[in-house]
């Protein structure tokens, strides 16, 4: 993957968000953040269950 030159990517690699309209970018950003929160919550719950 290429590095992101537009600064919109949530990671260091280009994921094509530079081609999105502002509304599409904002929605993608929100959905990505929600996904990351769910993943973090899942990991936290698994750690608690193992204790």
The yes-or-no verdict on residue 28 having pLDDT over 90 is yes
pTM assigned to the model? 0.76
Q: Check residue 27 and give its pLDDT.
A: 97
Q: Check residue 16 and give its pLDDT.
A: 94
What's the pLDDT band for 50 if we cut at 50, 70, 90? confident
Domain span at residue 42? 1-51
Q: If you compute the radius of gyration of the chain from its CA atoms, what whole number of angstroms results?
A: 15
Summarize pLDDT for 34-46 with one digit per residue, the tens. 999 999 988 888 8
Evaluate whether 20 touches 30 at the Cβ level (below 8 Å): no
Number of domains in the chain: 1
Q: Check residue 45 and give its pLDDT.
A: 81
Evaluate whether 3 touches 9 at the Cβ level (below 8 Å): no
Q: Whole-number mean pLDDT of the chain?
A: 91
């Amino acid at each position: 993957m290429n590095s992101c030159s537009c600064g919109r990517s949530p990671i260091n690699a280009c994921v094509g968000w530079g081609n999105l309209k502002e509304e599409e970018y904002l929605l993608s950003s929100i959905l990505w953040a929600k996904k990351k929160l769910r993943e973090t919550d899942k990991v936290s719950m698994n750690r608690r269950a193992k204790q």
